[in-house]
Structure 1
């Protein structure tokens, strides 16, 4: 497959600025792989497609307020700092992106907060935009994290086209988010409300949770035409024994496995064995899935409508069949479905 095969024209007005007023009331397009049928539903209808002991697999990573703004020493220039991950808890070292990058060099200090209560020193240049910061803070670690996060805002992607708002810290998060470490949300999971999950429980549907800390690589441009040469950013994943038991038991008993989002698909495929059963895993993955690809765990998948050229679209097309998925995207544009992290959802079933 070539990068150019994932090109389509996406007008700005098709990218959702805000989520649906109620999480489970976005629109849902249903793709039936075996028949080629396309249905138009509401997301709360998702229950109609699954039965008792089918398993929904969720990503329970938690987004932290990763975008903050500081001022450079002496010049006072405003610098955006995007926290990627904590490198060393004791030394307060963080891997970050800075913008504008050209103004920030090793040895520069940045001041955060109205009273400059947090100071950071640039100690390493890791990439053209990346830096390692050492935060100079005397309090304990939990106090430091609280103070740092109080200055941050939700890392809503810039392509959404609006500034961050206080409500985004709740909106740009799944209700079951538990393990902090993501700088973008696993967006397919954002459509689940407490009411819907209670109805799923009553129907006897089972839940399993993996943790994949979603990184900015999900939104990074793919810059090679030959997709076999694209390198994904590594992301940290945790798949526990209990999750494996739930999924493997369901497969043994021929129940459906539903991957809630592209991050769940990648995690499942990263830890599956030769017998099509998953095994506990803790580590990193840079698995890149694009058509053609033979999925071995999930029978169905939920996914938002993604942007042109994105690796998220490529994975979705690998699961849904390239031609069928791209045809469905044409339908979505004609029928005014909303794209992006706050947009509508696609369900792919057999």
Structure 2
């Protein structure tokens, strides 16, 4: 496989302003020193609690936000600080499917106008070509082309999300970032949308970044999974390894809290105490040490690097005690 995206030391910090002159008095550290590679054709899942920075990371990757620092290489080109025409041209390559299918569509525009807009913005095709393209997009996502003159309020939530997917596909991008794309939908509709995304991936040779707080959904669709906490990657591994052998205490806690369809399967529970620290005042050392049951002195003082677990270079963990805890889990 060919590397499509290479993220290096990405940071996204938002200023906090106060006082009479609105001077900067602090920062919200939403994404901190995130690095990973994305191979062409794979699905990379990102999971974590609400407020961990996963949606901010997704928006920085599609350049809705300009990163504070760091690099985003897309097919070798650094797109982290693109401007004007360079940024506009890049938009054809990466698109986003948003969480809320109700808020992400303009209620004043018919579906035809919504799906035609990407072609108009990039000056692609004449009126007849654009109409044909919109009809094909509607059919591609399982909607009737005859409904393209309806308004968003005339569709169900699942149908609206299909329209959102069609809009993301309009310019034939290589990479689509799905930001909680099924979390606002009923469970039965979630399955339909996930299967649609997987079918489209095979048909159009797409690459996905799939952001979600639902561990079961991420397990079903992802080839590799990254776990985020307080803006940092805690663990990265292929999906099978992550769910069979979670190594970071935070990952274990997430797995233990997820609903299990088989009650005979048990996992040693990891008790989480306290609240998630404020991203404007992250703790020293490991960001998870304030809630971790395995904390020792070094955890409070030194930030752990994201390092391979044992001899597995594909399974990386940011924990000072990862090797020790993994050996205990193997022999227990």
Say whether the fold is shared (TM-score over 0.5).
no
Higher relative contact order (CA 8 A, sep 6+): 1
Identify the structure with the greater helix proportion.
2
